[in-house]
Structure 1
Amino acid sequence: MEKYEKLEKVGEGTYGKVYKAKDKATGQLVALKKTRLEMDEEGVPPTALREVSLLQMLSQSLYVVRLLCVEHVDNKKDGKPVLYLVFEYLDTDLKKFIDSYRKGPNPGPLAPAMVQSFLFQLCKGVAHCHSHGVLHRDLKPQNLLLDKDRGILKIADLGLGRAFTVPLKSYTHEIVTLWYRAPEVLLGSTHYSTGVDMWSVGCIFAEMVRRQALFPGDSEFQQLLHIFRLLGTPTEKQWAGVTTLRDWHVYPVWEPQNLARAVPALGPDGVDLLSRMLKYDPAERISAKEAMDHPYFDSLDKSQF
């Protein structure tokens, strides 16, 4: 790793520390994600190799953060090897960007054209992942990196925690993640598909418009109540099998509210798209590919993407 000069620690990913660094030869800024490998007798675990190859494949999309290379280093202290994933560096994420509009010197809404552009890019990146059989499962504004100068949004943190056998954090450890978690997962469903990502996309869409989270629960139970209060308590008619899910209880019965009131700055097409992303029955939720053809994007110049 002598090639890189570590400049600062910028965060803790799902599976290890993340550093901002500079390539000494080229001056290029990069993000280094460091993880220790639990080694087996064969060397690097095959799951790690599979995830890295998957990430290299997904990185072919402009809307997924680019993996530049992988460095394997022996740790002299304890003999355990360390894997560094070297990614392109982006200086901010969607969460910080939204906060800058909410708390900055000139607070105000994000421009509708900007919301439209970021959402389209997010759908394009998610569609790319789904077409390669990959669920992200943890989409949230913190995991969406921005190239502000070019107005480009990129999906990051592609669930590598599984590859490196880091124990999954319980939901309460990372409460923010709860805010974007689909109801089928909150209710204990073990069989879920691409709909979990599209629910998260809907929550992110609403947050860009509102500049605050749509469902800010502080526990799984509270999270469900936030959802039910706005969208109505789900019934078997709306979502067959919901009452047989592992964590279903008898909940207060709420009628669905007018979704447009939750996102008053959004026009009818935007509200319609959001409602399709937030369908209770995962099978009825709009796919990322279908979303890109929704009338909400009719005024967007798609040729630039």
Structure 2
Amino acid sequence: MGCVASKAPVTPALDSSGASLDLENSEEFLPPSLLWNRPQLSNYEFGDQSESEESKKRSSAGTSSVSFPLRNLNWCTEGEQVAAGWPAWLSAVAGEAIQGWVPLKADSFEKLEKVMQLEKVSIALARETDTGRIVALKKVRFDNFEPESVRFMAREIQILRKLDHPNIIKLEGVITSRLSCSIYLVFEYMEHDLAGLSSCPGIKFSEAQIKCYMHQLLSGLDQCHSRGIVHRDIKCANLLVNNEGTLKIADFGLANILNPGEKQPLTSRVVTLWYRPPELLLGSTDYDASVDLWSVGCVFAELFLGKPILPGRTEVIILALLHSYLSLEVYKLMNC
């Protein structure tokens, strides 16, 4: 199922450097504002990755795992994983996340363009040398192999491996080496995202297209929630679209597994600010998968308007915008 009439008029050209993928020396990058023809996102627009905050809460509660056990199974020892090519530092901390997999080799991919650079994460495009297929690479760097950061990356891998749905981005493998302090997550390549499409001049989504995208988004999200997974960063920039109009939910870096009936220490510093629900704006740490549905509503409105519905720089500004919208609607109802 795809919304074929909504693809962007131009697909970015991919200029190959002709070099094999280098795990450590790939610093040049093309800003996403050039790739998708939209203003580059400011820092306040990204969800706060408060791993340490949740980790401290778990420590004070007497729990040792991040969200669920990340231990090696008895039949799959750390030694076996190292023999298969995994770095010892990764196997020791995230054995269960990589269990049953063999690392992909860096020389199997040809580096193309880097499209986004954050503090410890970058997104790049590469070509698989055997097939010529384009893939997306998410590079994660670990300074001094911090176990806590490795555990949170492992959580993302484990969550992605639990999900198999046409509207959820597919993790195809992991590239690493025993000497590198970085790993690459290998994903299928999607040409666009909803934020880029909606901001392109001349593109105005029809009601049929919006219905199509929302159906795909809710289908993918239903797959997540039915498995106890809450995404915690649904926004247009994380909803990828290919040239056939198929939508896939991406970026599970803030996702978590919520166990019904089990009290879990959570953080309110998740979900990108413009898509953050009121309970998180007010600091709640007791929430469920419904936080994703508020974000879905913000995406729905943005597709109609062509711009975010709550573009505030602070929690207070967004709450004030919400109050003004709700007050106006109450006034209209009272004067019908």
TM-score under structure 2 length normalisation: 0.59
* Helix, strand or coil at the partner of 1:128: helix
Match of 2:273 in 1: 178
1:112 deviates by 0.9
Pairwise CA distance, 1:12 = 3.5
Partner of residue 87, structure 1: 187
Q: 2 CA distance for matches of 1:25 and 1:139?
A: 34
What is the CA distance between 1:170 and its match in structure 2? 7.0
Q: What TM-score, normalized to structure 1?
A: 0.65
Is the aligned partner of 1:64 residue 2:168?
yes
Kindly indicate whether residue 110 of structure 2 is the aligned counterpart of residue 10 of structure 1: no
Q: Where do residues 42-57 of structure 1 align in structure 2 (5 Å cutoff)? A: 45-57=150-162
Distance (whole Å) between structure 2 residues aligned to residue 10 and residue 33 of structure 1: 10
Counterpart residue identity of residue 256, structure 1: V
- Change beyond 3 A, Cα 1:13–1:26: farther
Alpha-carbon distance between aligned partners in 2 of 1:67 and 1:155, rounded to the nearest angstrom: 12
**Could you tell me how far apart the structure 1 residues matched to 2:249 and 2:160 are?**
11
Q: Which one scores higher on RCO, CA 8 angstroms, separation ≥ 6?
A: 2
Residue in structure 2 matching 1:39, options 145, 158, 163: 145
- When residues 258 and 86 of structure 1 are mapped into structure 2, their CA distance, relative to the original with a 3 A threshold, is farther
Q: Which of 245, 254, 257 in structure 2 is aligned with 1:151?
A: 245
Q: Distance in 2 between matches of 1:28 and 1:86?
A: 12
Find the counterpart in structure 2 of residue 121 from structure 1.
216
Shift in Å, 1:132: 1.1
Instruction: Give the direction of change, closer, same or farther, for the CA distance of 1:155–1:222 in structure 2 (3 Å limit).
Output: same
CA distance in 1, matches of 2:240, 2:162: 19
* CA shift for structure 1 position 224: 0.7
CA–CA distance in 1 between the matches of 2:139 and 2:290?
A: 31
Gaps of 5+ in 2: 1-105, 258-266
Contact kept? 1:15, 1:160, Cα under 8 Å = no
- Give a deviation string over 1:220-266, Cα, whole Å, max 9, x none: 1001111111123xxxxxxxxxxxxxxxxxxxxx763659xxxxxxx
Supply the distance in 2 between the matched residues of 1:66 and 1:152 (Cα, whole angstroms).
13
How many residues are aligned here?
218
The change in CA–CA distance for 1:199 and 1:161 in structure 2 (over 3 A counts) is closer
Cα separation, 1, equivalents of 2:121 and 2:256: 12
Measure, in 1, the Cα distance between the counterparts of 2:247 and 2:307.
19
Change in CA separation of 1:160 and 1:197 when aligned onto 2, cut-off 3 Å: closer
- Residues 1:15 and 1:112: Cα distance change in structure 2 (over 3 Å): farther
User: Hey, what does 2:283 align to over in structure 1?
Assistant: 188
State the secondary structure of the residue aligned to 2:112. Answer: strand
Match of 1:30 in 2: 135
Q: CA deviation at 1:179?
A: 1.1
Paired letter, 1:92: H
Question: Partner residue of 2:330?
Answer: 256
Percent identical = 38
Q: How does 1:207-222 map to 2 (within 5 A)?
A: 207-222=302-317
| Residue segments in structure 1 that go unaligned for 5+ positions in a row | 233-253, 260-305
Distance 1:140 1:211 in 2: 13
- In the TM superposition, residue 69 of structure 1 has moved relative to its aligned partner by 0.6
